[in-house]
Structures are given as C-alpha cells and as structure tokens.
Amino acid sequence: MERSLVLIKPDAMQRGLAGEIIFRIERRGLKIVAMKMLQMDKALAQRHYSVHKDKAFFDHLVDFITSSPVIAIVFQGKNTVEVIRQTMGETDPTKARPGTIRGDFGIDIGYNLVHGSDSLQNASKEIDLFFSKGEISDYDREIGKWIS
C-alpha cells in the first residue's frame, strides 16, 4: 500500500472545486487516511516546494500557495502516487488531457488546482511536513476487497 499527499490549492478553494477534486480521487478507490484545512505560511511553502527554489516561478508559487487556505489530504491505496498523478493530469493544464482534473478545470500552469506527490520518497517527506503520525488514521474498509 502506498500513501501520497494531495493539496487542494488556493485557486480550487476560491473556485469551490475542493469537493469535485476529492470526489474524483476518492472515487478511484483511494482511501482518505488524513485531512485538514490550513493556511500555509511562507516557511512551510518554501520547504514543500524546496526542489523548485532556483526556478523563476518560485516566489510566485510561494505567494500563490499561501494566498488562501488549502486542504491537505493523505490518500492511501494501491499505486497511489501514480493513480493520483494520472487523475490530476499534466502540470500544464493546456497539455493535460480532458478527463483529468487539470484538463477539465485548468487553463494556466500557475493555477493548476491540485498538488500530488511525484514519488513515494517525496510523498513520505511531504506527508511528514503536513501531518504528525497521530493525525493519520489507518482503518479497514469493507469495500476494500472490491477495489484491489
């Protein structure tokens, strides 16, 4: 079983798309094991996006992700990292296929609605940034056997 971190970004919060995004990922069969709404501060944003610190868009990205509350969610299930990346679509919404979250709701790379970890290693680091161990609840679901 894998875990991945999802963030419902400020543009999705402002546009009232949080439920739609959670719905699409949850419906794949992934299980929510932790969730909270929070206002990210600059320090957390810089740590979360530290791999991009030398990029031209970094300051804008930090301003954007701290501009409104976000919802942070840990999803758990089979191939979770890949399944979420696939459900989100390409980073640039103009390249994301219709049927993906970004392909259906986005038009600009700076406003692409949702974050999902890009590897198991980064998922683990990102989950630790947002959640303590005690905030993550693993539990069995009866429907689990019908999904994987």
Per partner kind, with CB cut-offs from 5 to 8 A, the member of ligand IDP, Mg ion, none near residue 82 is none
In the chain, which ranges are continuous DSSP H helix?
10-14, 18-27, 42-48, 58-65, 80-88, 101-105, 120-130, 144-147
CA–CA separation, 98 vs 26, rounded Å?
19
Task: Kindly indicate which of the ranges 40-48, 69-77, 107-115, 133-141 contains the residues binding ligand IDP, using the contact rule CB under 6 A.
Answer: 107-115
Read off the tokens for 136. Answer: 């993550």
Among 118, 120, 125, 136, binds Mg ion (CB under 5 A): 118
61 lines the binding site for ligand IDP (CB under 6 A): yes
Task: Kindly indicate which of the ranges 17-25, 93-101, 104-112, 134-142 contains the residues binding ligand IDP, using the contact rule CB under 6 A.
Answer: 104-112
23 lines the binding site for ligand IDP (CB under 6 A): no
User: Does residue 52 have an active-site annotation?
Assistant: no
Per partner kind, with CB cut-offs from 5 to 8 A, the member of ligand IDP, Mg ion, none near residue 61 is ligand IDP
Burial pattern 19-54, b for ≥16 Cβ within 10 A else e, equals eebbebbeebbbbebbbeeeebeeebbbebbeeeee
Residues within the interface to ligand IDP (CB under 6 A): 52, 57, 61, 91, 109-110, 112, 115, 118
